[in-house]
Structure 1
Amino acid sequence: MLSLTSTLSVAALLLAILGTRLAAAQKNFNFVNKCGQTVWAGTQPNSGKPVLSNGGFTLGAGQSSTINAASDWAGRFWGRTGCSFDSSGQGSCLTGDCGNVLACNGAGGNPPATLVEITLGSKDFYDVSLVDGFNLPVRISPIGGSGDCRAADCVSNVNGVCPSQLQVTNNGQVVACQSACGKFNLAQYCCTGSNNTPSTCPPTSYSKVFKNACPNAYSYAYDDASSTFTCSGPSGYTITFCP
């Protein structure tokens, strides 16, 4: 028969093992704001996955914040700009707004917004997408891991080369760049209808603007070959606004 001391020691050991396994079953997302302005991060889970950090939080210029996710989480992150919220978290943003609230609580951001998309699993898949347009430069970098494990990013200020037809302005300043699909809603840009295959929806002059500025990012729906990244077993990821 085990003594009380022995029983407590076994229990402590089991708790330690359980704690280690739980920690291993989580991954960290470290958000860093290197912009010269406040960024309001947004988080949106895929269907059936939990909302992280209430769906949104504030990152002052130069600040960082870490949130945890289960090792099978999937969803997207983005940065909102030009926001103003009251003490109850009600307000609005110039770009990436998610329903006039600080805590998006599962809602997505209004295009145009630069997206970080990720699916965690035995092998993680992640990308930076301009399919919904651009508002901020961003990079996602794995922490450790094996395999390719390269950073995915869009580090250029696409607003500076945005075609006039796609520009979103505020007080004369370009604050975001719409996608051609978002602006014109035509099958040739949205890859829908008879244009719903890679062969019938090639790059356009508009998507090439995004691709030339950000070669590692999705520029339109079928831009998979050079825009999807993988990594096995990283402890987490660093997501940097304005890297």
Structure 2
Amino acid sequence: MNAVYLCLTLLLTFEGVAFGTTFTFINRCDFPVWPGILSGAGSPALETTGFELSVSGSRTVSAPSGWSGRFWGRSGCSFDGTGRGSCSTGDCGSGEVECNGGGAAPPATLVEFTLGKGSSKDFYDVSLVDGYNLPMIVEGTGGSGACESTGCVTDLNRKCPEELRAGGGVACKSACEAFGSPEYCCSGEYNSPSSCKPSLYSQIFKAACPRSYSYAYDDATSTFTCTGADYTITFCPNSPSIKSARGTASTPATPTNNNPGSLLSGTNPPIPVQQTSYAANWLADLAFSGSRRNQPLTSVLLAFGFVATSSILLSFRQHL
């Protein structure tokens, strides 16, 4: 009996070790980034909940099998010698380098993980549902299954619609955060996939970052799986195009269509034409610049499709 008990104990111990996962964080921004970590309900806290990554710095953090939680990057941070301070974007409200159970203040780009146990799959995604502050990419190594990379490598801060800009251009809000309406937040009577549809704003995010969550029910193209992998999370993977959060953000183009009125899009609330035309011009610019960077053709076609749709609807309303 003692031998059986010992074998079971060793098996359980081995399972916990063998199926643990390591997350390696790499900073390729031209400024420091402070990753934040929040464990999900029922998951243990990891060895750290926040730390500094200097330029070109890296750090590895281990998580047990079955762990769930989220990661994000904080920028524009200032901490004193005791570790007290705050950040311009992604601040977790703890007033310290360690987040200590505090989540990211939106807008912030989030990486979400649910690790499998044993031979079960890991599920992971990059979400812009709470807005965007830093580009990042997630890559799995050593696993089995699809194990596709995902993320948002576009610097959305440089092209963020004026009405979504935050902190003078250091972050880009989601439409939910900016306007607070149930239609954009997928709340209340819109709390289901059938009633909450993509908005023009979420489509801007989707066109720029096709593999990221753009709104709450964007599951089909945004959730990825892998089994038994370790993961690398890289901030600013295209570092030459990323400017410091303390620097001056570029000013978005001026809207070219200022006709009065509003645009109704499905179940979404009316969007003033000035906002709509701005978003349409943003999409057109994204499509043009994206084609030069050889972004996926589907993103470019999607962008032009929404521009054409917006123009047709506006023309139709003007003749009513």
Alignment TM-score, normalising by the size of structure 1? 0.89
Counterparts in 2 of 1:159 and 1:21: CA distance versus 1, 3 Å: same
Residue deviations 1:72-102, cap 9 Å, x none? 1100000000000112211010000011221
Paired position in structure 1 for 2:115: 120
- What is the deviation of 1:25? 3.1
Give the secondary-structure state (helix, strand or coil) at the position aligned to 1:141. strand
Contact 2:91–2:105 (8 Å) recurs in 1: yes
Counterparts in 2 of 1:19 and 1:46: CA distance versus 1, 3 Å: closer
Paired position in structure 1 for 2:148: 150
Amino acid at match of 1:151: S
- What is the deviation of 1:23? 3.2
1:104 to 99, 107, 127: 99
Aligned residues: 228
Structure 2: any 5+ residue segments left out of the alignment? Answer: 1-9, 238-320
Residue deviations 1:181-239, cap 9 Å, x none? 011110110011111122211111110111011000000001111000001121x1001
1:84-103 matches, cutoff 5 A:
84-99=78-93, 100-103=95-98
Amino acid at match of 2:195: T
Paired position in structure 2 for 1:166: 164
Work out whether 1:214 is the aligned partner of 2:209.
yes
Work out whether 1:240 is the aligned partner of 2:260.
no
Give the secondary-structure state (helix, strand or coil) at the position aligned to 2:214. coil
Taking the aligned partners of 2:96 and 2:129, their CA distance within structure 1 comes to: 24
Amino acid at match of 1:156: T
Amino acid at match of 2:129: V
Amino acid at match of 1:184: F
Q: Percent identity?
A: 55
Alignment TM-score, normalising by the size of structure 2? 0.68
Amino acid at match of 1:118: F
- What is the deviation of 1:139? 0.8
Paired position in structure 2 for 1:11: none
Contact 1:76–1:116 (8 Å) recurs in 2: yes
Counterparts in 2 of 1:58 and 1:202: CA distance versus 1, 3 Å: same
Larger RCO (alpha carbons 8 Å, 6+ apart): 1
Contact 1:161–1:209 (8 Å) recurs in 2: no
Amino acid at match of 2:236: C
1:161-240 matches, cutoff 5 A:
161-170=159-168, 174-234=169-229, 236-240=230-234
Taking the aligned partners of 2:226 and 2:48, their CA distance within structure 1 comes to: 27
Taking the aligned partners of 1:157 and 1:238, their CA distance within structure 2 comes to: 20
Structure with more strand by fraction: 1
Taking the aligned partners of 1:190 and 1:196, their CA distance within structure 2 comes to: 8
Structure with more helix by fraction: 2
Q: Which structure is larger by alpha-carbon Rg, 1 or 2?
A: 2
Paired position in structure 2 for 1:74: 68
Contact 2:16–2:65 (8 Å) recurs in 1: no
Paired position in structure 1 for 2:287: none
Paired position in structure 2 for 1:37: 31
- What is the deviation of 1:17? 8.6
Taking the aligned partners of 2:98 and 2:224, their CA distance within structure 1 comes to: 29
Taking the aligned partners of 2:167 and 2:102, their CA distance within structure 1 comes to: 24
Structure 1: any 5+ residue segments left out of the alignment? Answer: 1-15
Give the secondary-structure state (helix, strand or coil) at the position aligned to 1:58. coil
Counterparts in 2 of 1:22 and 1:203: CA distance versus 1, 3 Å: closer
1:64 to 58, 70, 73: 58
Aligned CA-pair RMSD: 2.0
Counterparts in 2 of 1:233 and 1:54: CA distance versus 1, 3 Å: closer
Question: Which runs of structure 1 show a deviation greater than 3 angstroms over 4 or more consecutive aligned residues?
Answer: 16-23
Counterparts in 2 of 1:196 and 1:20: CA distance versus 1, 3 Å: closer
Taking the aligned partners of 1:233 and 1:55, their CA distance within structure 2 comes to: 23
